[in-house]
Structure formats: C-alpha cells, structure tokens
Amino acid sequence: MADSDPLQFSGIDGVQCEEFIKIVRQRALAAGKQRDNDWIIDFVTPCFIGDALRFHATLDEEVRNNWWLLQCALLQKYPAPEERVVNYRSFAPPNPTIPSPASAPRQGLIRVHIKGTQSIYYVSRARINESWVGCHIPTTSTTEALRVELVQSGVDLSKLKIMGHTDQFNWLGITWKLSKPTFGPTSEHHSYVVGVQENDLSSSAPHTRGPIRALIWNIGPSPDYTLTPTWKDDTGRSWKLDVAVDKGRRAVLLPANIKGFHAKWQNHWDTAALSFEPIRLVTIERAAYIHPD
C-alpha cells in the first residue's frame, strides 16, 4: 500500500487490526510525527469504516483521543488469531511436477495477476454489494485476502474450501450470469467468482440465473501453481475459462473466452491470470497478561 493510498480499517479480524496499527505507525514515523499524539489521532479517525467505525464511535473520549489507549482498545476488541498465516512461496518444492493430493500445498491465497502490468491482487474475503452483488472483489492486502484449502475431489479438478467462512457459502466457485452459457471463440458469456453452498445448491450472487459449481479448479505444477478454472459441459467436454478484472478493481470474472468477452467489453476489463499462493499456518500460544495492581 502506497503512502498516498487511503487507509481504511473495517474491523474484519485481529490480523487486519495489527496491519492497520503497523501502517499508522509507519506513516507517523515517515512524517516525523511518531511522538505527536494529536497528529496521529487526526490521521486515524477518518480511517474507520463499517463495524470498526461503530466501535470507535462508542469509545470514551479519553480513549479516542489517546493513541496508546486506542491501540489497546482495538487489540482487545480484535484479538490475535489462533493461527498465523505465513507465506512460504519461497519454500515451494523445486520439482516441477503436477501436485498430487499428498504433495500439493493444502492452504493458500488466490493471487490475481493483471497481465501486461506488475500489479498483483488477491481474491478478497469481501464481496461486492453493488452491480455484481455477491461476487468476490480483488484486494492488494494479504490480510484481507480470502484463505482457501485445496480439496482434491477429482482426477484433474479440485475444490477450494473457504477457511473461516461465516455464512452457508463454504466453497469458492463460480456461477454463470445466464442460464445456458455458450463456449468457443465468439462467446461473450461470463461467470462470477462467488461463494458456493454445499452440493452447489446456491451461490452468494442471487441475481444470476446460470449454473453453479465449486468443482472447477485445476492447479498447475510448482513453483507457480497456476490456477486454471475449468468448466465441464453436459457432454463432458472441458472448457478452460479466462480471467478478467474490471478497471475499477471491483470484481473478478471468468469469461468463457476472453476474445469474445473483450469484443463486447474491452474498454472496461483487463485480462488477468490466477495462481495458488501457498501459506502455512503457525499455531500461536496465547499468553495471559495480568495487569499489576
């Protein structure tokens, strides 16, 4: 996150809270204001949104106006996770073989690379509530990225289980906008990256009319672990889907064919690619702190 980017804290969890406090400290230090309580309070107050804004507004004035007390209140409200996520892409096995159920990384983030640029995003835990309501949005923050677990469900395709899901949509999958999508070089049809209920019963995007599926992910060999969404039609034929991200970075779509999709929407979408970025979980033993009398 660049210093010019607006900083926001929505109160997702303790990891986001820690990241927020870290960035505030870094920006205060860069401005030479690390010991200026009033400057820091003026800086952080507009950053609160959503549930975090409601929590901040209910705090005593003394806490709201004291950066040290405010940090303590935030860390108490949003405690540390039971497990820490540590990126271990650099530790990926060097053998370029197709991962087997035993050797494939089990848990990770979904990385979104905008082709032709150096821009790296991740599929976020958050879903859009505007035009593409219920669809997962891209984010540049690993703390806000969706964490998934690879579940080998077929010979060539896998499912991605959403870790820590808070609703009935426990799988990451897709749903098509139209009831009967077409494929091939002229197809303009597209699907949305959404949360999918068990047995493909429903998705987090209620406005769509098309088929829903979670068993669509093909993971490539290390070290890149390219993630290729693949749709099998009623005849059993497999179609590799492309990836597109809108220029406003508000949604991730999977077109049936990127050329046909761009022919209709070229000015609004960038071509992208997905990969599975492994993580490992480190269990944290919580320490008990007793305030002295």
Q: What are the pLDDT digits (tens) for 266-278?
A: 678 889 999 999 8
Mean pLDDT, range 5-24, rounded to an integer? 87
Token match 């690879």: residue?
150
* pTM reported for the whole predicted model: 0.62
Mean pLDDT, range 108-127, rounded to an integer? 90
Mean pLDDT of the chain: 83
Going by pLDDT thresholds of 50, 70 and 90, the confidence category of residue 82 is low
- Give the total residue count for the chain: 293
- What are 259's two structure tokens? 């050329």
150 and 107 in contact (C-beta within 8 Å)?
yes
Q: How far apart are CA 170 and CA 200, in angstroms?
A: 10
- Decide if pLDDT at 130 tops 60: no
- Decide if pLDDT at 172 tops 80: yes
Mean pLDDT, range 36-56, rounded to an integer? 94
The residue ranking higher by pLDDT, 258 or 105, is 258
Least Cα distance to 188 among 265, 260, 258 occurs for 260
Q: How far is CA 26 from the centre of its chain?
A: 24
pLDDT of residue 56: 96
